[in-house]
Each structure stands twice: as structure tokens, then as C-alpha cells.
Chains A and B, each alone.
Chain A
Amino acid sequence: MASWYALVAVGLFIAGYILAGSRARAVAGGDYAGMHSLPTYHGLYTASLAFLPALFIFICGSFIAGQLATYSAISALPENIQSDVLRQGAALREAINIVRGGSPAAASAEVQSAAESYGSVLSAGQWATLALGMLAGFGGLSWGLSRVSMNFRARNNFEKLVHGLLWICATIAVLTTVGIVFSVVGETYRFFFDPDIKGKPTVFEFLFGTDWNPQAAMRADQGDIQTAYGFLPLLTGTLLITTIAIVVAGPLGLFSAIYLAEYASPRMRAIAKPILEILAGIPTVVLGFFAALTVAPYIRGWGEAFGLEVASESALAAGVVMGMMIIPFISSLSDDVINAVPQSLRDGAYAMGATKSETIRQVILPAALPGIVSAFMLAISRAIGETMIVVMAAGLAANLTFNPLDAVTTITVQIKTILVGDQEFDSAKTLAAFALGFVLFFVTLVLNFIALKVVQRYREQYD
């Protein structure tokens, strides 16, 4: 169906361009200088008038058709399935799979009938959309054609449309944020307050509970395993790994930046910068593999040599490798802020007879401090949000501990664990992942926001 839509929309565009263009040429009769807009603009304007309404109707129509089809499929299901959110969702997914051409072999009769109902409504809706879209397109096309004349300001009108398009593109970033907020806040609200969700915690239990065990949520008969949604162990785990990462990456990144900005010869910089860029470009899944397969066994080996008990998925391994990940991040941001410190301050210190390191420690670093602090904040936000390294190298054990040799789990690991694989969208467990996502989004947003503000003010100070 999508290809039909595309075909029709593109056809309308081409038709509008050619028809209006040739019409304008005919109207002008060779006197293009006397015409307000070139025929090309008449063509483009009419083409847009034909294309845009059709496109709009196709997008809205296919969405509405999908919703209607879903609704009809649900109403085709028997009462007992309808009333149970979980079974309803499963049946619906199965029905949609059948319509999309999955294997219908195992489906029950109810699901089959739901699928039929879904399929018929969907195709009816889609055909209606196509017809409506074509109608609107032709309407736009003929209106555009009727406006072709010597004095019609086709270029200005087309440019208005383009301006609108540019604006829409720019607002997509805002829409993305709105989408994120909509998805995490909505689900988080349901997690805490939706009466249909069983086994959900209160906000207080979530924020201050010390046990995290969402896995037992689905099985009511397993009464001995208590479901728990205490967020604290995840918080401490995340903070522990982030702290290790910053302890590793902070000094290394900062000193690298200082060396590169103040001491290194151009040759040295030409070698060292690409090294940092390569490190920055390594995908986190690769770092996770390295952490789990190389670093973790090493740390375990050392620990045993000193008689310490090290978990095979220790926070230390994940933290150290995450530190590696953010070294280039800290060093490039710090490099920027150090270079932004005006030369006149350096000259002032050198002229007092300060050595290079005295100049750096006592003049440049204090001057660059706001920038460096915000670099660290951005790095912390990145470490908190990093997923793959901790998924692969830290464990699932929600231990409330600050021992770096123990296994801990993090917010991102739990989101990934809950949401990967089969999930029931309306269970407390799934919603918990969105609540965690909300926390993650909120925390990183605040950190980023403050850091960016600080950097901005810092830049203004020396510009």
C-alpha cells in the first residue's frame, strides 16, 4: 500500500510541475521578462499544491485506518480476552502478524476472526485514504493550474511553502523531545497510578526501596518470590560505575588535554589527536566485549593474586572500560576550553616569571574551570546513560553496595533486560522500564542543561 501512496504522490508532483510549467510558458508566450515568476516556479508551486495535500491525507489516513482496524479487531475478540489487557495484546499481535503474512497455522479461531476483521477494515481504510488523497491532489493541481498568469507571484508563494518546510524540519527536534517525554512520562504515570496495573509500587517505595526484583512480576503462583521495585540499588550501582569511570577518565582526559594544548609539539599532536579520535569512534558494543572478555578476567586474576574475592562481572571492569570510553570526550572538551583561555593570560603569567606548569595550574585551569566542570558533567551524563558496556560487563544482580569488586546493576541494564525479548506491554514490569527511562532522561537532561548553560556563559566571557 505504501508504494501505491508513494506512486500517486510522486505522479501528482510530476504532473503538476509539467502541466503548470507548460501552461506558464504558453501564457508568457516568450515574454518571460514580463512575467513575475519563471515557469519553473509556476511548475514547482502547482506541483507542491498537488503533492502536499495528498501526502498529508496519506499519512493521516494510513494511521487512522490502522487505529480503526485495531479497534475492530479488538471488538471481534471474545469478551474474556478483551477484558484481560495482557491476553488482548497478545491476541492482537498474533492477528496483525497473520494479516502481515505470518504463519496462520497455530492461530485459534478467535484470533482468526479478529485477523479477518482487522484485514478487511484495514484494506477498506487504505483504499478510502488513497481515493481521498487522489481527490485532494487533483483539487490542488487544478487550483494551482487556474492561478497561472503573468502577474501571479509563483516564486514568492513557493518560497513561502519552502519556508514552512524548513520550519517543520527544524521543529522535528522539538517533536522528538515531545515524543520522548510523551512516551516516558505517560508510561511512568501509569506505572505509579493506573489502577489496572497489578503489583505496582508507590512512588515512595520506588524511590527509596532497597530491593529490585521485577522478574517475578508475572507469575502470581510464585508467591515466595516477592516482586520489588526499589530503585536504590540501581542508583547506587549506576553511581558506583560512573564514579569509577570518572576517576579513571577525569585525570587521564584532563592531563591529556593539558599536554596536547600546552606541551605537545605539532608532530606529537598530529599523532595523539587521531588516537583519541579513534578511541572516541569505537562502538560501545566493542568496548563491552573488551570489558567482559579481557578486562574482567584480568581484574579477577589480580584480585585473586591479592586474595580478594572479585565477582566475575565486577563494577570495576565495567567502570574502567567506561572510563576509557569517556577519556576522549573529556579531553576534547577540555582541550577546547583550555584553548579558549586567551593568550594574554598566559603571557601575563610568563611575564611574571612563572614556569609553564605554574601558568597552567594557577592561571589557565582556574580560568577554564567552568568549562572543565561542565565537560565533566557532560561526561557523567554520558556515563550514566551508557548501556552496552554495562549490559555486557556488569551484571544483573541488584546489590546495594559500594564495593567496586562486587557485581552491580545499573538503570540502563535493567531497562534493556526488561524490554528485550517477549514483553507484555501493560505489565508493571514493562512500565517499570519506562519509569527508569524517565529517571534517566530527567537526570541527564538536567546535567546537560546546566553544563551547556555554563559552557555558553564561559564562551561569552572570552569572546
Chain B
Amino acid sequence: MTDLTAGGVNAPAIRRVEFDTEEAKARLRRRYRSEFRFKVYGFAALAVTTTFLLLLLSSIVSKGIPGFFQNVIVTDVLVDAGKIDPEGNGDAATLRAGDYTAIARAALAEAIPGIEGRQLKKELNGLLSSGAGDALREQVLADPSLVGQRVKTQLLLADEADVFLKDSSTTIRTIADTRGIATPTGTTGDVTIFVGANDFADDIAEVKAELKAKAAAIMEAIERRKARGAGPESLKDLEREAADLRIRYEAAATSETLDSKTPSRLVAINGGIVKVKEMTPTLVKGEVIIPLKSTADAAPGTWQIRVYEKPESNRNLNDRGLTFLEALKAKGLVENRFNWAFFTTGDSREAELAGIQGALVGSILTLLVTIGLCLPIGVLAAIYLEEFAPKNRMTELIEININNLAAVPSIVFGLLGLAVFLNFFNLPRSAPLVGGLVLALLVLPTIIIASRAALKSVPPSIREAALGVGASHQQAVFHHVLPLAMPGIMTGTIIGMAHALGETAPLLMIGMIAFIVDVPTSLTQAATVLPVQIFLWSDLPEPAFKMKTAAAIMVLLAVLFVMNGLAIWLRKKFERRW
């Protein structure tokens, strides 16, 4: 106690913490402000993370919900015997092979009569999917007596038409208060419509304003690039385009030609529709899309100008298709229905026909292989390590190995599958068997770790009790410890399976990425799985496939939520505190 006597009680006095001085008060306020800030940071981090998740889910759901629906034309069609069963033998093979597309087209021609010309007919038929007659075929096969009758059926629309109907970005403006008397020169083909007032003056002004705005935008882009040091060569095209536009909008307002980069204008007159190609304030020249009933004069207000605000070049559906579709919609023939076929068909090049059944079945087959391998192997390995393994180098090596393996990137497992299973053992490419093998190796560490934790949580007293009545160590483990650890093992296994279900990268390596229409029926057949299907679709340019991708993601997430929910339920139900 030398230092105590030396300095203990007599050591220099330490100041006592003061709280009443202004300085101390300020200091305390500062400390509490920093306390508050810190807490806010923590809360903000959680809030940002939650926002991320909500953004992700809402973006997927908003894109995906339309993907579960499909627009169809619901109408009566004549099941023309001449098109499907000309010889009248009525057997299933003939009925199956019949040309139902032709019947669907005939029904469409009936709905919008009078369409002449190859090009227009093609546009009209283009609204229909290549599988438009499939529903009718099923109906006829189910009831062959329908041949020759009129049947109410649904005709599938092509994806462009379908997406157009789901997408609200194209607005159609109708100008109904027309002031002059309009006189068309014909009912089909190229026509001119003379108008008794300056009905189109406003339109021309509008078009010029648009051209001007566009030119300004191009000039701005040129300036930006110049500022970043782009050479004059690279800007030439843009400059020329801007100059062209300037010439157009600076010209006197006598006549204006419309192109696909400005909003389209159409004239609805005498029951028909004319697409405007050129206009002056008092007349338009254009092309008839839906034939006019007559060339009679149309009184002011009985004819209309329609503007498709989104330029044709920015749309997947051109003016003709759009006009036909609007006509069908006006007749009340178009319906948006839940697309059950999404769950009952395989992949297709046509977005409206593509479904996820093949991928779902592929996922199920793959997961069956995975669980069949990794559940027994994982549990037995866990039992060995937890119960029987001697404390030696080998055991240590295995343990380090398992922990490291759990963190190896999944794509490396794909390389393993490619090199070992495909190239060394010559197993079939793209098969659920190989996919299941690779995923089993991938989730094995997870299952071993979870099973070990479950085994460890069983108290030693259970083991000792079994040993005490003369059971062998193995009997004690298999009869008493393992059953008690089973809920924990199942929870871990379900979580591992959920992980395997969402895994994509290693399956790409072993070729489960092929375009496969057929639903797989065996473990060695080429197949794909749900996440890979999502990846494949997400790469396709059609907007309809984007919707299908999001819809497939919703299905995948729903399955994952159910699996994780099941795991949580299991854990809650069997949770036992020893």
C-alpha cells in the first residue's frame, strides 16, 4: 500500500462533475443532441431498408398483376365445318387438326366488316394471337356437335394488342365540336376530306409547336455534347435533323405532313375512320382504315377528329391495329380475363401463350432430387459430427470445410456441376437430375449446420437416460435424440429448400437455360426451373414478357413466403425450452 500512503488520500483532488454551470448544461445538451442524432441514424437505416423492400415489392406487383390477366375477344363464331372437318368424319384427330385460326379470323372480319386490301387485313388479323383458336378447339373437342353451329367463344389477342389495352400511356383525345361540313371523296383507299371551316388550323399549330419543341431538345443535346468535347463529326446527324425540323415549323401554315414521330390524327366520319397523312386548315388527305358508309356530307359535330397522343413510332401497336382494336372495344367485344393458362402451359415464343407450368414442374423435380439427397446426407453428417466424431484432425478439417463451403459463391457450384457431373460422369445436360445434384451440394452445408444446432439443443440428459437403460450409443441417438431434434432439422431443411428454389446461377452453368416448351416428365429430360424462366423472360424485349416475368416472380415469391411461413410455424409449434 505504498502508493496509498504516498498519494492515496492526499492525491490531487479531482473535480466533481458539475451540472449547474452554463458550460456543463451546454455540454449535456450537446451530448443529448448527439444521442438523438445517433438514434435517428439507426431508425433511418431501418426505414431506408424497409423502403427498399417496399419499392421492390410494389414495383414487382404493379408490373406483375397485369401479367396474370389476358385480353380476349369474346364473341359468337360460326364453327365452319368447311374449315375444320370438310369430309364430316367427326373423329378427334381431324377435329384437332382443324384450322381454328381461320375461324377466328372470320369472326373478326364479321365484327369489323368491309376491310379490303391485303395490308389492312393483315393488320386486322395481327390483333389475334397465333393461338387465338385454341379455346375454340378445346370447346369443339369436348363437344363435337358444335361443328356447323354458332358458338360463343374467346379469341386470344396478340401480346401487342394485349399490352396496349393494359398500358394507359397512350391517350386518345377526341375533338367532337367540329365546325365545318365535311365531305369525303371516297369510302375506301386514299381519300380527301374537304371541310367547310378552318377545323384543322389548331391541329397544324399544335404539330408545329411539337416540331419546335423537338428541335429545341435536339439543340440542347448538341450543346451538352459540345460542352463535353464531342467532335463536330459525331454531331452532324443531329444538326441535320434539327435543321430539317426548323424548316418544317418555320414554313407558312398552309400544309403539314404527318409522320410516325408526331401524334397521329384520324378523322371519324360516316361510320368509318380515315388516318390523316397531310392536312391544310380546310382539308385533309389520308388513308381509310375502316371503310366509310357513304361519301355524303357530314354535318358539323357529326364527325370527329381523334388524336393518338403517343406517336406511332413509340408504340408497339401501329395506327391501324390501334384503330381496329378501338373499334372492337367500342363494340364491347374485348374482355380482360384472368389468365389461367399462365399456370397450365409451358414456355412459348409468343408472350400471350407463354406459361410457367414447365418451369414449375422443373422446379419441383429438381427440388425432389435435392431434398432426396441432402436431407438424409445432411442429417447423417450432422449426427456423425455432433455425436460420434472423435476430436481429431479429420473432424476439424470436415468442420472447417463445411463452414467455408457455406460461403462459396453459388456459381462455383455450377462450375463443379459442369466439370464433374456433365463432363466427367456424362450425365445429361439441362436435366433436373443434375440440377438437383448441384443444388443438393449447395444447400448441404446449410442443412448440416441447422441439423447440428437442432441436435445440440437436445439436452444430454435424454442421451444419458437412454444409455442408462442399456441402449447403445446409436440406439440412443436414433431412438431418442433424433426424433426430438426433428422439428429443428425440418425447419432448417425448409429454409435450405427455399434457398435452393430461388437459386439461378449454378443452374445456368449446367444448361438449364434452354428454351423448352414441353412440360418435363422425367428427371433426365431437359427442363428449366422457375428462377431461370424468370431470367429468360426478363431478357426478352417484348413488354408483355416483362409483365409475365413480374407475374412469375410473384408466383416464386409467394411459394417462398409459404415455405418460410411453414418453417416459422414449425419452429413456433415445436419450440421447446429445456
Contact = CB atoms under 8 A, between A and B. Distances in A.
- Contact present between A and B (CB < 8 A): yes
Interface of A: 63, 66, 70, 96, 100, 155-156, 159, 162-163, 165-167, 169-174, 176-177, 179-180, 182-184, 186-187, 251-256, 258-260, 262-263, 272, 275-279, 281-290, 292-294, 307, 309, 324, 327-328, 331, 353, 355-358, 360-361, 378, 381-382, 384-388, 391-392, 412, 415-416, 419-421, 425, 433-434, 437, 440-441, 444-445, 448-449, 452
Contacts of B553: 286, 289
Nearest to B41: A255
B425 A66 contact: yes
A387 B420 CA distance: 21
B207 interface: no
Contacts of A384: 409
B409 to A, nearest CB: 2
A447 B59 CA distance: 35
Given A180-B415, A386-B409, A440-B412, A294 B59 contact: yes
B498 interface: yes
B517 interface: no
B415 A70 contact: no
28 contacts: A155-B472, A170-B381, A173-B402, A173-B405, A179-B416, A180-B416, A183-B418, A183-B419, A186-B419, A253-B45, A255-B44, A256-B42, A262-B42, A272-B50, A278-B53, A283-B502, A284-B505, A285-B532, A286-B557, A353-B17, A355-B31, A355-B32, A386-B409, A412-B411, A425-B423, A434-B415, A437-B412, A452-B407
Contacts of A278: 53, 561
Contact of B60 (A290, A357, A440): A290
A176 B405 contact: yes
B404 A283 contact: no
A256 B42 CA distance: 5
Q: Give me the 3 closest cross-chain CB pairs, A-B, nearest first.
A: A385-B409, A283-B502, A259-B42
B398 to A, nearest CB: 5
Contacts of A331: 49
Given A159-B472, A252-B45, A385-B410, 16 more contacts: A163-B388, A177-B404, A262-B42, A272-B50, A275-B50, A278-B53, A283-B504, A283-B560, A285-B502, A285-B532, A285-B535, A357-B37, A382-B407, A387-B410, A392-B535, A420-B511
Interface stretch (B105-113, B231-239, B441-449): B441-449
B56 A287 contact: yes
Interface string B392-411: 00000110111111011111
Contacts of A425: 423
A287 B39 CA distance: 29
Contact of B384 (A70, A166, A421): A166
A279 B502 CA distance: 13
A281 B559 CA distance: 11
Given A100-B428, A419-B509, A256 B49 contact: yes
B50 A173 contact: no
A162 to B, nearest CB: 6
A343 B323 CA distance: 73
Contact of A448 (B384, B407, B539): B407
A159 B17 contact: no
Given A70-B426, A357-B39, A285 B420 contact: no
Nearest to A183: B419
Given A169-B377, A355-B31, A385-B408, A174 B397 contact: yes
Contacts of A254: 45
Contact of B441 (A176, A186, A284): A176
Given A174-B398, A449-B404, A259 B46 contact: yes
Interface residues of B, number: 92
A360 B419 contact: no
A256 B34 CA distance: 17
A159 B473 CA distance: 9
Given A179-B420, A444-B408, A172 B444 contact: yes
B415 A415 contact: yes
A421 B429 CA distance: 11
B253 interface: no
A279 B42 contact: no
Contacts of A260: 46
Given A176-B416, A378-B407, A166 B55 contact: no
A259 B45 contact: yes
Given A283-B502, A285-B504, A276 B49 contact: yes
Contacts of A324: 49, 52, 56
A278 B498 CA distance: 12
Interface string B19-59: 00000000000011011011101111110111011011001
Contact of B564 (A253, A255, A277): A277
B34 A357 contact: yes
A166 B387 CA distance: 10
A425 B509 CA distance: 13
Interface hub of B35, B50, B407 (most chain A Cβ within 10 A): B407
A391 B410 CA distance: 14
A166 B546 CA distance: 48
A357 B41 CA distance: 11
A327 B505 contact: no
Given A358-B31, A415-B415, A169 B380 contact: yes
B295 to A, nearest CB: 49
A72 to B, nearest CB: 14
Nearest to B379: A169
Contacts of B43: 259, 263
Contacts of B409: 381-382, 384-387, 412, 440-441, 444
Nearest to B564: A281
A295 to B, nearest CB: 9
Given A279-B52, A281-B560, A180 B535 contact: no
B404 A445 contact: yes
Interface hub of B55, B508, B564 (most chain A Cβ within 10 A): B508
A392 B414 CA distance: 18
B247 interface: no
Contacts of B45: 251-256, 259
B63 to A, nearest CB: 7
Contact of B508 (A169, A174, A186, A416): A416
B321 to A, nearest CB: 25
A229 to B, nearest CB: 17
A285 B381 contact: no
Nearest to B42: A259
Nearest to B509: A419
B549 interface: yes
A279 B531 contact: no
Contacts of B389: 170
Given A155-B472, A180-B415, A415-B411, A259 B39 contact: yes
Nearest to A294: B59
B293 interface: no
A257 to B, nearest CB: 9
A284 B535 CA distance: 10
Interface string B252-285: 0000000000000000000000000000000000
Nearest to B535: A285
B398 A171 contact: yes
Interface in B416-459: 416, 418-420, 423, 425-426, 428, 441, 444-445, 448
Given A309-B228, A437-B411, A252 B48 contact: yes
Interface hub of A159, A173, A289, A415 (most chain B Cβ within 10 A): A173
A356 B419 CA distance: 54
A290 B59 contact: yes
Contacts of A358: 31, 35
A444 B407 contact: yes
Interface hub of A183, A277, A448 (most chain B Cβ within 10 A): A183
B379 to A, nearest CB: 8
A166 B472 CA distance: 16
B123 interface: no
Contacts of A163: 384, 388, 474
B150 interface: no
B49 A288 contact: no
